[in-house]
Structure 1
Amino acid sequence: MSDENKTVENKEPKNLSRRGFLGASAVSAAGIAGIGISGIMTPAEFAQAAEKARNNAHHNIGPGELDEYYGFWSGGHSGEVRILGIPSMRELMRIPVFNIDSATGWGLTDESKRIKGDSADVLCGDAHHPHMSMKDGRYDGKYVFINDKINTRVARIRCDVMKTDKMLSIPNVQAIHGLRVQKVPHTKYVFCNGEFRIPQPNDGRDLNDPSKYFTMFNVIDAEKMEMAFQVIVDGNLDNTDADYTGRFAASTCYNSEEGVTLAESMRNERDWLVVFDIHAIEKAVKAGKYTTIGDSKVPVVDGRKKANSQYTRYIPVPKSPHGINTSPDGEYFVANGKLSPTVTIIAINKLPALFAGKIKERDTVVGEPELGLGPLHTAFDNRGNAYTTLFIDSQIAKWSVKDAIRAYKGEKVNYIKQKLDVHYQPGHNHTTMGETRDADGKYLISLCKFSKDRFLPTGPLRAENDQLIDISGKEMKLVHDGPTFAEPHDCMIVHRSKVKPKKLWTRDDPIFAATVAQAKKDGVTLESDNKVVRDGKSVRVYMTSIAPNFGMSEFSVKQGDKVTVIVTNLDQVEDVTHGFAVNQHGISMEIGPQQTSSITFDADKPGVFWFYCHWFCHALHMEMRGRMLVKKA
């Protein structure tokens, strides 16, 4: 556990808090009927009730209290990222990423379209794996990265403002799935997998010749959000993770048969964990030992098994492996079997010998415990335990990594410590700080694909289910159910001490730098000017906002003009966000305190159209409005 986490823990009083005391009293009252005629609890009974109350208070975050952790949830096929507080499981914020969001104007504003770049016209996404940047194997609170499987993109969220600030379309591949960051010495790279095999270049040739298909492991420069290099592989890549030395990344890989149908993809008994030697690939790229594909300038190296590549090793594991997770002590990769009841433990310290040709691939395997049906993902605490989701069994299996390794050596030892039912069909799971050196073993989230009978029915489409589990004691305890929508694919959990969001925007923020630059060209001072700049059919309307007024109550344009409205929020009080919406034009955007936002649209019909603030900001919020007068052409 990190020192920061200890500090937060030590602030909790050792004796019962007021909430705990009241809870104990409530438990006492509830138990009186079963205690006897006197209705008085014995000291032992009161102690038991008090302990139960303490446990309840530990998970209950009351009004005015703050959660200990931020949870960043993928929004699945909604295309967004959601922030939850843990342990309350309260949804705090939604960050639009690959979707269109009418509340904030994401995907509508000029700023968001610039960030989305060449995919600005793409209206949907399938967000899977959010992961925070690191320094020395610890979260640094700077960025969260997230992938879009549908449209083969990766986006970056700035954690100081909780807004997407960069987006990159990945060339030469289709369906970015697994994503992780380089942990050590810092997040220089983001690693992500192209899942589906396609012809290269995919320009209409070789449509029905799967022997010409392949996919690639992709490496992104995390700061520039530009491609660094790609590695051709055999098979289809699934999930990925990185080690704590900075040298190795590993990806699960299915379809070693390289088929295009289900039957063709299921013939082999085993598939692979593909290990990438990042340092060797970097050296090759620096030395110019690479090729390019089509119009792309991205360096590509050949990592195929059939090519006897020096950059990769293919470790045989049970068929169709899914999750790959690195233990927080940095010793092991754990590949999850999915179709096998086992997970495979790979010793990372054996990988240098493997790449040097001194041992064989399966010599790196030090354990293969049998856990149950459908192991998908594994998380870790700080006490040597692992927690694996069993999709078919609808359970979490808690097991000892060291005992599983002992059992693999032939010792008779029970490595499974507990199995807990979850509801139902869990996919990803994550422990608090469990993907870092600071794993603290307090909570585990199980992201369940079905809820069935857990909540009120809502028609044929039901909510899915996030479940919070207390893992701080000897046994796992389910403490919370939470419905979620489309879908609970993945999440990551970071202690609140690691994240430092701003309360106000700064006027020089790069997100709206291009808008500021345009204002300077137009001779406009954003903080004070309210004026209309006409440039032929292009019209730029500059206005300020401060509750409860816009800087101008009306502006006039001509039918057929392309209108850009630029609003600068002069309020300096946190929470005083303004909106700008125009009736019958599909125009909506958010302008936070000290932020500048702009939006462009066609004034295609004559008439009077009211604009107004749609974020509640003041007692006279309803009066914060004005007129756009569109003169007939």
Structure 2
Amino acid sequence: MREQKGQHPQSVEIDADDASVSEHVRMSRRLFLGSSAALVGAAGTGLGAGLLSPSAHAASHDGPSIEVKPGELDEYYGFWSGGHSGEVRILGLPSMRELMRIPVFNLDSATGWGITNESKEVLGHSEFLAGDSHHPHMSMTDGKYDSKYVFINDKANSRVARIRCDVMKTDKIITIPNVQAIHGLRVQKVPYTKYVFCNAEFRIPHPNDGTGLDDIEAYYTMFNAVDAETMEMAFQVIVDGNLDNTDADYTGKYAFSTCYNSENAVTLAGSIRNERDHVVVFNIERIEAAIKAGDYKTLPGADKVPVLDGRKGSKLTAYVPVPKSPHGMNTAPGGRYAVANGKLSPTITMLDLHKFDDLFAGKIEPRDVIAAEVELGLGPLHTAFDNRGYAYTTLFIDSQICKWDVEKAVRAYNGEEVDYIVQKLDVQYQPGHNHTTMGETRDADGKYLISLCKFSKDRFLPVGPLHPENDQLIDISGDEMKLVHDGPTYAEPHDCMIVHRSKVKTDKLWKRDDPFFATTVAQAKADGVVLEKDNKVIRDGNKVRVYMTSVAPNYGMDSFRVKQGDEVTIVITNLDNVEDVTHGFAMVNHGVQFEIGPQATASATFIAKEAGVHWYYCTWFCHALHMEMRGRMLVEKA
């Protein structure tokens, strides 16, 4: 047996008698359960490139230094989805230090997200303070990150959110109408992010009002476009099958999505009968022209949203047959190719994006856009790219990253005898998404790759039946991939994106005219209050608005008086003009606490249910006398 670089026979079980697969696949084949046992055994002997400790790798590492010393800054920002927590996390790379958590679809008592009036307005006063965030992606201009927004989906509640990168706060959330389970999400790359493309995965009846429950063939789902600036629906396109992941090209003309369940079934057995599923290609120019011509319909409850028919035979879409149940959809930085990852096939399918014009002109057939079907190993899920013509595909069942040469793969598909697989590196265990530094843009730099692994098993100290997942940082700058960091992460982050620090420009202080607290400012003006200087109580029947300032280590009021049963709104303006002097506010025994950044205004509303003395205090350390920053709410009996 020929040994691949980074592959270790001790952790590989070969099916040598299976003549139906290529040599590449046989070399990487391992039993789904047996591989885990083999890897555990290898760990005890110190075998396997992926089983060396991070410190051992660092000692033998001859690529760029991954050490970020105290006081030094990371080279990259990583935006991680928070998975089942519903948040987004910011990490520094290559240190892999967690820098910040951005609450999005979740309740967060540290910042008051889901508690403050400002955050409730963003959340649309939704009852769902939980989410399943999957795919964070930054807005672009000319195919390059512009650090304006990061968008993230909530699969559990069919929502899409926008995070402002200047303050790293969620400022808009939209619930996508007419569909269920928003999964794959990407942005339009060129000329700028006009649209956020997002797939609704599950097929439902329309209208979904209790009629037609058993008319399975009439179910359908839709491809969705959200206006990136207004965060309102731009259009929806009906498709055949269930949509999975999506991406866009570098011309602004096309988006494309992997699509499974071509059988239009609602059971597992029913949805895996066919040999092939497809990639659906969406012609954005034709969709926009159809909307302009009024060639669309609307659905009840969303009468302003254009809904177009993109099922098979439509001039708006093309269905490219690919192996069964394709998963990841990834566009190469050069703009020529996109990759649909096979999942149930040992292959990935390369699409030649330069042939899409001819496809929609009717000059070629759908399968003619396929540049190659590349055999890599078992369970290919997602592919990332560098700036040297290499691709990196996660092999879920093989627990490996496969590095391969894109152009050589095309040549091999066309009959040339050429070996396109460069290296296979063990990761622990069952990797899903992977991303290279700047790899989703024209600026791909080929320094690092992240493998987001679904299991950790024996990688870290045991913490009970629920294990963390495992993030592994791999240096890809040299001829060989090298694992350089191994770290736990919570609640299946699922996906991430990585941007160079030079692209991200954040504010150090809030601007007083920021729209984030515009509604609160408007109410203050109506009450005749100047937020920057006034400390006063406004009474409106049983509604009481308490305005106060904060300057470390004092609130503008050390006490205020209300009546039992009053609806109390606390409005605080942080007048500190110094970076990192954040204040907090907590009303003891009332479930109210929130953050007020420097120069920000924040508010929360609650009922003063019990008579008596109720203390409030600052929750974010701000001064040597931080403990003394407190006051009393005096509640008189009703």
Same fold (TM over 0.5): yes
Query: Which of the residues 355, 370, 384 maps onto 1:379?
Result: 384
Check conservation: 1:564, 1:601, Cα contact below 8 A.
Answer: yes
Aligned partner of 1:103 among 97, 107, 110: 110
For 1:139, the equivalent position in structure 2 comes to 145
Q: 2:86 — aligned with what? A: 79
- C-alpha RMSD of matched pairs (Å): 1.1
Does residue 206 of structure 2 align to residue 200 of structure 1?
yes
Contact 1:448/1:488 (<8 A) preserved: no
Which deviates more from structure 2 when the two are superposed, residues 428-437 or residues 206-215?
Answer: 206-215
- What secondary structure, in the 3-state scheme, does the structure 2 residue paired with 1:123 have? coil
Q: Distance in 2 between matches of 1:556 and 1:467?
A: 55
Q: Decide whether aligned partners of structure 1 residues 52 and 124 sit closer, same or farther in structure 2, where only a CA change above 3 A counts.
A: closer
1:204: Cα distance to partner?
1.0
Shift of 1:536: 0.6
Q: How do 1:116-515 residues align onto structure 2 when only pairs under 5 Å count? A: 116-117=123-124, 119=126, 121-297=127-303, 298-305=305-312, 308-515=313-520
Alignment-derived partner of residue 523 in structure 1: 528
Quote the residue 1:30 is aligned against: none
After superposition, the C-alpha distances for 1:346-379 in whole angstroms (9 at most, x for unaligned) are: 0001111111111111010010110000000000
User: For 1:276-303, what per-residue CA distance to the aligned partner results, in whole angstroms no more than 9, with x for missing partners?
Assistant: 0001000000111100011212000000
**d(CA) in 2 for partners of 1:249, 1:161:** 30
| Structure 2: distance between partners of 1:597 and 1:344 | 50
Give the match for residue 552 of structure 2.
Answer: 547
Paired residue total: 581
Following TM superposition, by how much is the alpha carbon of 1:54 offset from its aligned partner in structure 2, in angstroms? 7.8
1:507 positional shift: 0.2
Q: Does the Cα contact within 8 Å between 1:111 and 1:597 map onto a contact in 2?
A: yes
Q: Equivalent residue of 1:198, what SS? A: coil
Paired with 2:316 and 2:257, the residues of 1 have a C-alpha distance of 13
CA apart distance, 1:88:
0.3
1:489-543 residue CA offsets vs partner (Å, 9 max, x unmatched): 0000000000000000010000001100100000001011000000011110000
Aligned AA (2:159): R
Given that residues 72 and 81 in structure 1 are in contact (C-alpha distance below 8 angstroms), is that contact kept between their aligned partners in structure 2?
A: yes
Quote the offset at 1:53 in angstroms.
7.7
Structure 1 CA distance for aligned equivalents of residues 125 and 351 of structure 2: 40
Which whole-Å CA distance do the structure 2 matches of 1:426 and 1:53 have between them? 24
Distance 1:599 1:55 in 2: 53
In the superposition, the TM-score normalised over structure 2's length comes to 0.90
Q: Which amino acid aligns with 1:164?
A: T
* Alignment correspondent of 1:556: 561
Q: Which residue, out of 563, 570, 585, partners 1:580?
A: 585
C-alpha distance in structure 1 between counterparts of 2:363 and 2:613, whole Å:
79
Distance 1:143 1:352 in 2: 30
Q: Deviations over 1:248-292 (max 9, x none)?
A: 000000000000100010100000000000010000001111000
Whether the 8 Å CA contact 1:241–1:250 is kept in 2: the answer is yes
SS in 2 for 1:353: helix
Match of 2:30 in 1: none
Pairwise CA distance, 1:56? 7.8
Three-state SS of the structure 1 residue aligned to 2:138 is strand
Letter of the 2:317 partner, please give it: T
1:488 deviates by 2.4
Question: Structure 1, residues 431-452: CA drift from partner, whole Å, max 9, x if none?
Answer: 0000000000000000000000
**Counterpart residue type for residue 498 of structure 2:** I
Give the Å deviation of 1:128: 0.2
Question: How high is the TM-score relative to the length of structure 1?
Answer: 0.91
Structure 2: stretches of 5+ with no match in the other structure: 1-55
Question: Would you identify which runs of 4 or more consecutive aligned residues in structure 1 move more than 2 Å?
Answer: 51-57
Question: Contact 1:109 / 1:597 at 8 angstroms: preserved in 2?
Answer: yes
**Aligned residue for 1:534?**
539
CA drift at 1:559: 1.1
Gaps of 5+ in 1: 1-48
Q: CA deviation at 1:560?
A: 1.0
1:79 and 1:532, CA in 2 relative to 1: closer, same or farther beyond 3 A?
same
Query: Structure 2: which amino acid aligns with 1:572?
Result: N
CA contact (8 A) 2:239 2:309 kept: yes
What are the superposed Cα offsets for residues 59-100 of structure 1, whole Å, 9 maximum, x if unpaired? Answer: 000100000000000000100000000000000000000000
Indicate if the aligned counterparts of 1:185 and 1:246 stay in contact, CA closer than 8 A: yes
Tell me how far apart the structure 1 counterparts of residues 477 and 79 of structure 2 sit (CA, whole Å).
Answer: 21
Contact between 2:63 and 2:477, CA under 8 Å: does it hold in 1?
A: no
Report the identity percentage. 75
Amino acid at match of 1:68: E
Equivalent position SS for 2:581: coil
Code of the residue aligned with 1:519 in structure 2: it is A
Higher relative CO (CA 8 A, sep ≥ 6), structure 1 or 2?
2
Give the distance between the partners of 1:562 and 1:200, measured in 2 at CA.
42
How far 1:55 moved relative to its partner? Answer: 4.0
Q: 1:122 to 1:212 in 2, by over 3 A?
A: same
**Does 2:619 align with 1:614?**
yes
Inter-partner Cα distance in structure 2 for 1:337 and 1:480: 28
Please give the alpha-carbon distance, in whole angstroms, between the structure 2 residues aligned to 1:586 and 1:330: 51
Secondary structure of 2:114's aligned partner: coil
Partner secondary structure for residue 265 of structure 1: helix
Structure 1 range deviating more: 56-65 or 538-547: 56-65
Tell me the secondary structure at the aligned position of residue 462 of structure 1. Answer: coil
Amino acid at match of 1:370: E
Q: Secondary structure at the match of 1:362?
A: helix
Task: Report the CA distance between 1:466 and its aligned residue.
Answer: 0.4
